Homo-oligomer: A and B are copies of this chain.
Amino acid sequence: MDQVTTIEAFTATLKRDLLVAYKRKNDIFNPFMFFLIVCSLFPIGISPDPARLGEIASGVLWISALLASLLAMDSLYRNDFEDGSLEQLLLSPHPLYFLVLAKNMAHWLVSGLPVVIVSPLVAYMLSLPDDAYWVMFLTLLLGTPILSLLGSIGVALTVGLGSRGLILAVITLPMSVPVLIAGTLTVQEALNGASLSGYMAVLGAMFFGSLTLAPLASATALRISVT
């Protein structure tokens, strides 16, 4: 019985969260279904006409992905808070940064990745012009982890609150606006035939920025919420 290293604690947490998701199944399935269903509300609510749909498709896809990733966040710390596991996490001797990162990673793998993978299909159904598929896919691949990392801060801040659901959205959505702008702009410029390296670089910078900073903020927020 030895003390474990931080890396072991990291993998233990990652594995555990993936296991919980696997057992629940729905954690994987639902964000993805939510994305599909919300996307298909737009043709009904706005217009079934392919030409008009094509114009709004990239925005619709991004907004739906944003909402799906946001709403899936709720399960990130809530159950752990309620059953007391979160206190155990905070009391572990390892830097909270890495444990939070492990939880975020597991969460994105489970809720973000499926959305990214199905996005080309939905893009087709919404008549997004052909050239933009790949760009759409890539921006989502880079963008959804950012949304998860940012969302994690919001969840951590609100985890102890009685009323939930929307407070999280109200805190996190405004934070996510820059990502939304970067994402949709990239796709639109791709449609205009512009070169993409600049836009992708912006998204990449956001990604690395949030990867290093957001877990710090989440960790602090967790300590505040639990004490």
Residues of A within 8 A of B (CB): 24, 26-27, 29-31, 33-34, 37-38, 41-42, 44-47, 52, 55-56, 58-60, 62-63, 66-68, 71-72, 74-75, 78-79, 82, 161-167, 169-170, 173-174, 177, 180-181, 184
Contact = CB atoms under 8 A, between A and B. Distances in A.
B26 A166 contact: yes
B177 A72 contact: no
B162 A44 contact: no
Contact of A34 (B46, B72, B169): B169
B30 A169 contact: yes
B71 A30 contact: no
A10 B11 CA distance: 52
12 contacts: A24-B162, A26-B167, A29-B170, A30-B166, A31-B166, A37-B169, A37-B170, A37-B173, A38-B173, A46-B184, A52-B55, A78-B164
Number of copies: 2
A66 B79 CA distance: 26
Contacts of A163: 24, 26-27, 30, 75, 79
